[in-house]
Amino acid sequence: MSRYLAYGLCIALALASVALALVWPAWWWSAAAFAALALLGTWDLLQSRSTLRRNYPVLAHFRYGLESVGPEIRQYFIEGDTAEVPFSRQQRSLVYQRAKGVMDVVPFGSQQDVYSVDYEWINHSLAPSSIDSHDFRVVIGANTAHPYSASVFNISAMSFGALSANAVRALNEGARRGGFYHDTGEGSISPYHREKGGDLVWEIGSGYFGCRDGQGRFSEERFVENARSPQVKMIELKLSQGAKPGHGGVLPAAKVSAEISVTRGVPMGYDCVSPARHSAFSTPVELLQFVARLRELSGGKPTGFKLAIGHPWEWFGIAKAMQETGLLPDFIVVDGAEGGTGAAPAEFIDHVGVPMHEALLLIHNTLVGLDLRDRIRIGAAGKIISAFDIARIMAMGADWCNSARGFMFALGCIQSQSCHNDRCPTGVATQDPKRWKHLDVPDKSVRVQQFHDNTLKALRDMLCAAGLEHPQQLGPEHILRRVSPIEVRSLASLYRFVEPGELIDRVPAHAVFRDFWPDARSDCFAAPQRVSALRDTKDR
């Protein structure tokens, strides 16, 4: 009967308080409180939805209360400074310090275990270099009518709707002040993206938001209206994203406000659906033809696509289509399966898609093997926070990096992981005006700029220490990794790198190329015959 002890005590104390209140009126407050708990316990016993509440009336609610604040207790009192879940306190503190422009130096030695397996570092030189500017840039679309000189560190795709109006304003103003770009996300270009005038990369997803007709199909007329805006510097076609590759999404009708309706070109009162696949193309060749058409319609702006790698034969099919048709994107952005700001089912967050490091290497190797690497720029996104993160990714083959959650931290995000329930405590990822209106745009835009600038200053200092002059000089030989307590290897020796032109004449001695390159097709995304045959064996 101990399960009912709390319930019984509430009843007994309520009765005792009533008796005392008849003599001393101040006890009526106590009587009301215990009576309310007694009624709650009675309701627990009568309801049938929760067995726990029926077995533990009143007491079960204390368990629910402790469970609700469990993440906060772990984050602030239990987790270590270097525990990444998904970002460590040390990582978040680094962003906050750089965003606020306060001292970010660390005393008394590293908190990292430098002898643990997978610890990584960059070697320094006895002949350090001197670099005057930290404004590192890369030209994208050099052969287009409007090539773009991009910073090597930019704001990754986050839509208005996922982010609040003031968050978008602050990000775009920070990008304008710092001279870097702001990716719109697939939710299209909102008035808040336009308001401050910062450089935009317009991301177009399978819902064709901002360039769709009444049936949700791609509209050339609407595309031209947005794409030819001087503020739009590049066009990015999203094939998939790291948080939920191959999934699509739905914005419930209740959340489709008048602003979102106008921005995305969808009607109010209906669910806003982002399909799992595109309707404008269905084969690798058609994809490249669509990219070329977008470039033409935009007036010659750099145009490319973003994807998270899944089935390798599908990417190989796209690569073969490039080789056969000569139709090339100006850039490819690789999104890692580490996920990002987009909410998704747990299985997708944890177990779908190729992590960014391996995905980046596959795309880089393929383009090198086809002798196309010098004609196509590669961007990378996926848990990039520090200058070392940027250096490592560029050493593995990227030309520039994007960060979403890093810039959210710069806005004041505290990693409450409330992005999906409209209760973001800092007004960053919510559409509740009572929350987002408290986000101060002038202050946060300065923090966005300072996070970008101070991170690139740190990158400059790392390059100087390594004896280099530009992050483009970084290669896999510069990054070292401990692979056991007594063995250290460079990324150049850990990974297999394809030789220039190697894919043109032969299949490299590399498992993924050996298994899937010969059978990949440019006319469809279907699995190779051999893979389909393996599937069929289960039906025999």
Give the N- to C-terminal CA distance of the chain in Å, as an integer: 57
Taking CA atoms, 383 is separated from 13, 309, 356, 465, in Å, by: 54, 16, 9, 24
Give CA angle at 403 (402, 407), nearest 5°: 135
pTM of the predicted structure, to 2 decimals: 0.86
- Strand-strand pairing, 120-122 and 479-484: antiparallel
Instruction: Give the pLDDT of the chain (540 residues) as one tens digit per residue.
Output: 578 888 999 999 999 999 998 889 898 999 999 999 999 999 998 988 887 788 889 988 887 877 777 666 666 666 665 566 677 788 888 998 999 998 777 777 777 788 889 899 999 999 999 999 999 999 999 999 999 999 999 999 998 888 999 999 999 999 999 999 999 998 899 999 999 999 999 999 999 999 999 888 999 999 999 999 999 999 999 998 765 565 666 666 766 778 888 888 888 877 777 787 899 999 999 999 999 999 999 999 999 999 999 999 999 999 999 999 999 999 999 998 776 656 666 677 677 778 889 999 999 999 999 999 999 999 999 889 999 999 999 999 999 999 999 999 999 888 877 777 778 888 898 888 888 888 899 999 999 999 999 999 999 999 999 999 999 999 999 999 999 989 999 999 999 999 999 999 888 888 899 999 999 999 988 888 888 777 777 765
482 bridge partner residues: 488
Buried/exposed 491-514: b ≥16 CB within 10 Å, e otherwise? beeebebbeeebbeeeebebebbe
Helix (H, G, I), strand (E, B) or coil at 435: helix
Q: What are phi and psi of 213, to 5 degrees?
A: -95, -170
- What is the rounded CA–CA span in Å between residue 145 and residue 406? 32
DSSP for 53-88, please give it: HHHSTTHHHHHHHHHHTHHHHIIIIIS-TT--SSS-
Cis amide bond preceding 302, omega within 30: no
Residue 269 region by backbone torsions, left for phi larger than 0, else alpha for psi between -120 and 50, else beta: left
